[in-house]
Amino acid sequence: MNKETLQQLENSIQYHFKDSGILDKALTHSSVAATKLDSNERLEFLGDSILGVVICEALFEKFPQYLEGDLTKIKSMLVSRKTCAKLADTLGLAELMKVGPGMENSKSLKGSIAAGALESIIAAIYSDGGFDAAAEFILRLFAPLIDQADAKEHHENYKSVLQQHAQQVLNSNVVYELLDEKGPDHDKCFETAAVLAGKRYPSAWGTNKKEAQQMAAAKALIELGLIKEED
């Protein structure tokens, strides 16, 4: 990698390497390396684990109200090959990868190879600058996706939040009562209310039973003061 390309990449990832050799290895695919030990495969293995730890800790600290299943769902989306490939594309890693003949136009270059390159870069930063430097890079890169994932998950998570509150605070479970349904079979609407510790909370309508339960849980959370009405 020439000096100008190295500087462009370092500016893109906002980290400057003391040892540029490890960065070069992080961008060397096994299809062009003399041996697999000369490729980025070992770095990819390490980077995958570092990414998982950093994302798990970030989600654990950011979302104290989420249950294990909710956290796992967000984490799986964030560390997926698809997400990593998209982020690698924003950094231009695919164009910098050294690959073997015929690989330049391969779909995997923009997919699994690019995702592996990102994981390798994470490991390279870790090896060159330590865990904090790698974590800073990961959190800076993934922060917008973490916020987007939360916005989506929060909308789908009212039932989980209400159930957690019921179990931890009231030592109870939530029951959903179907109060009414209207419309023809192919286009029904359902009215549902959440019942918690013997109290029925305001009902809500939905285009299916699941949606009605989610909206009923949201109304219960509003009345309990756990979320604001505009949420």
Question: Where in the sequence numbering do the catalytic residues fall?
Answer: 48, 119
CA–CA separation, 154 vs 66, rounded Å?
9
Angle, CA 88 vertex, CA 85 and CA 91 arms, to 5°: 155
Q: What's phi and psi for 196, nearest 5 deg?
A: -135, 120
Q: How far apart are the first and last CA of the chain?
A: 49
